[in-house]
Amino acid sequence: MLSDAGVLTTLPVSDLERAKRFYREMLGLRPLQELPQGLLYECVDGGRFLLYLTAAQSPSEHTQMSFIVSDIEGEIGDLKADGVSFEKYDMHDLTTVGSIAYTRSAESAWFRDSEGNLIGITQLTSEDEEPR
């Protein structure tokens, strides 16, 4: 059953070397493997993602992958120091304050990688903790 399965996220890229530089220099990530179809990365919890080369890549308006973090403000500070720019939202159900959107269940922020993919970072909020 899928409840026992791992997850592999796939992200399209139009320039594999540029994406590899972005993930290394901006996010501090190095590929686990360089495969014929792209670059395979592994996260601390065993989750994996693949950057795959395609000519059909186009930026998405929805989150394509999120990293779960324990200190979102620290992560945002580190990423900004490395040159990452965060998205700003001001909609009826989602507004960012200092790069962070606060909901009842999480604090989240989003940035685009070198290929236009929308990447999130999320700090889950405990059920008894009030959102800020």
pLDDT at 3: 80
Domains belonging to the chain, first-starting first, are 6-124 (3.10.180.10)
Q: For the chain, what is the mean pLDDT?
A: 90
φ, ψ at 21 (rounded to 5°): -65, -45
**Whether this model's pTM surpasses 0.75:** yes
Number of Cβ atoms within 10 Å of the Cβ of 87 = 14
Question: Residue 64: pLDDT above 80?
Answer: yes
| Residues in contact with 40: Cβ distance below 8 Å, sequence separation at least 6, in sequence order | 31, 32, 33, 34, 48, 49, 50
Asked whether the predicted pLDDT for residue 46 surpasses 90, the reply is no
Rounded distance between C-alpha atoms, residue 49 and residue 99, angstroms: 24
Dig out the tokens for 58 from the structure.
């186009």
48-68: average pLDDT: 88
pLDDT number for residue 127: 56
Residue 130 has pLDDT above 70, yes or no: no
Given this model, what pLDDT does residue 131 score?
Answer: 47
Both structure tokens of 98: 């200092």
